[in-house]
Amino acid sequence: MPRSTLKKALLGISLLQLSFAATAQQDTEQKEKIRSGMTPAQQLIANTGEDLLTGGNADHAQTVISGYGQASYQRNFQYKTSTVNLDRVVLFVGHQFNNRIAFFSELEIADARVEGGKPKGEIGMEQAYLKFSLNPRQYIVAGLFLPRLGILNENHLPTNFNGVERPLVEQLVIPSTWRELGVGFYGQMSTLPIAYSIAVVNGLDASSFTHGTGIADGEGGGQRSSGNNLAATASIKAFVGDFQVQVAGYAGGTIGISSYTADSLHMTSGMLAAPIYLGEADVQYSAHGFSAKILGSYISYPKAGDINRSYANNTPSAMYGVYAELGYNLFETIKSEKFENKQLIAFARYEKLDLNASIPTNGIYDGTLKQSHLIAGLNFMPIPNITVKADVRLTNTGPFNKALLINPPPVIRPYAENNTFLNIGIGYSF
């Protein structure tokens, strides 16, 4: 999440030397955090063109261009394979209509390219919404936006998190860059350093849930999503000294088909049919070069058995994930102008998750979805807008359940419950 003083651009198109941190919601929090004396998790925060609109600094009509991206290398030591990938390139375009109305959009190309008929790449809108400022502390967003859930969803720039990979808990339990169509209300208390949000968005599609990917494949993402089922999400975040504490939740229906079709499948229908519940809490700390994060999330899906009966997608009735991270800027104590705008962050993160913590009677348990990961590495930031990363991930999972193989091949390599990965990456934001 962007965490620093916002700067006005003075050089026309060069105003884009500012933060891309994520959405309009975050800037109000940033201002309050500065007033309360709190420093951000990454001590030097890049400013991008989006901040002009997010912070309301563009006081007359103007268009802003910004963006971010990341490329990576990964070595799988157990299977002796390596991959290189242009993970994503995102272009931000925003426009300030007047001092109260602005437009925000992000267009993402994932995995470098899209080829017809081949499972390569993705092009999609990461956000496209209007922001209506009611006053300096409150505003409404309408369109395709990212609800405030977890640490990463709004704050997913590669310059804003440690490690080449986004935290796995915030990819598999809380979907990464989870966006939906809807309306949201955001604000901040006038007398307390507390920010809040509430939003109504389209619900998930249970028929699209895929074994091993949590709830991510059920997202609408703005693409012809059903309007028959809805969801609500809310959050509250407090800034206390060097700490940020947040609690957020999501609840919504997962069956968007018509009542006629639902009856034929012996399923319920309606706005909140077969509801799914997600809760998360997180704490962030930053001071004197040290940073720390703790996050926990739990998903409950009481009607998972009905979904499995109708769609045979082996949906679990409960999932959870937790992680803790500690980092330190090794340049913190160096008193030299040469290192003034540089960071070298050493960090370690431990993650534990289970995507089938509880399964209905018609589900099949998959031990590989009960995982623990230990990640340690370095992030070098020569300037706040650029990061060069390297880390090692040690992974442990439960055993593979052969009952999940419908047509097992005659020869299959034994599943490796322990594995090691080397990750190297670069990232930017402007």
Express each pLDDT in 10-20 by its tens digit.
Answer: 333 233 333 33
Residue 5, pLDDT score: 36
More confident residue, 428 or 339: 428
26: confidence class by pLDDT, cuts 50, 70, 90: very low
Write out pLDDT tens, residues 372-382: 999 999 999 99
Q: Is the pLDDT of residue 184 over 70?
A: yes
Q: Across 117-216, where does the E strand assignment appear? A: 122-135, 138-145, 180-188, 194-202
Average pLDDT over residues 299-323: 96
**pLDDT tens digit sequence for 254-265:** 998 888 888 888
Give pLDDT, residue 286: 96
User: What integer pLDDT is reported at residue 128 of this predicted model?
Assistant: 97
Question: Would you place residue 188 in the very low, low, confident or very high pLDDT band (cuts 50, 70, 90)?
Answer: very high
User: What is 12-429's CATH number?
Assistant: 2.40.160.10
Assigned token pair, 293: 């994060």
Average pLDDT over residues 201-228: 93
For the ranges 29-43, 220-234, 324-338, 387-401, the lowest mean pLDDT is seen at 29-43
Separation of alpha carbons 112 and 86, rounded Å: 5
Nearest to 328 by CA among 46, 41, 45: 41
For residue 47, what pLDDT band results from cuts at 50, 70 and 90? Answer: low
Residue type for position 115: E
Q: Each residue of 265-304: pLDDT tens digit?
A: 888 888 899 999 999 999 999 999 999 999 999 999 999 9
- pLDDT at residue 54, rounded to an integer: 67
Rounded mean pLDDT, 301-327? 96
Q: How confident is the model at residue 45 (pLDDT cuts 50, 70, 90)?
A: low
Domain regions of the chain by residue span: 12-429
Token couple for 143: 């369109």
Supply the mean pLDDT for the chain.
87
- Partners of 419 in beta bridges: 395
Percent of the chain with pLDDT over 70: 86
List beta partners, residue 199. Answer: 184, 233
**pLDDT-based confidence at residue 21 (cuts at 50, 70, 90):** very low
Burial 389-420 (b: 16+ CB within 10 A, else e): bebebebebbebeeeeeeeeeeeeeeebeebe
Give the per-residue pLDDT at 117: 67
Length of the chain: 430
Least confident of 31-45, 245-259, 320-334: 31-45
Q: What average pLDDT does range 208-228 have in this prediction?
A: 92
Q: Provide the pLDDT for residue 412.
A: 81
80-120 tens-digit pLDDT = 999 999 999 999 999 999 989 999 999 999 998 887 767 77
CA distances 37 to 191, 232, 240, 287, Å, are 15, 32, 9, 10
Say what the pLDDT of residue 17 is: 33
pLDDT over 90, % of the chain: 72
DSSP state of 410: S
Binned at pLDDT 50, 70 and 90, residue 27 comes out as very low
pLDDT at 28: 40
* Banded model confidence at residue 196, pLDDT cuts 50, 70, 90: very high
Considering only residues 252 and 117, tell me which one the structure prediction assigns the higher pLDDT: 252
| Phi, psi (degrees; rounded to nearest 5) at 107 | -110, 125
As a whole number, mean pLDDT of residues 405-430 equals 90
- In this predicted structure, which of 64-68, 210-214, 401-405 has the lowest mean pLDDT? 401-405
Q: Residue 38 pLDDT more than 60?
A: no
CA–CA–CA angle 425, 426, 430 (5° rounding): 150
pLDDT of residue 134: 96
d(CA 252, CA 217): 15
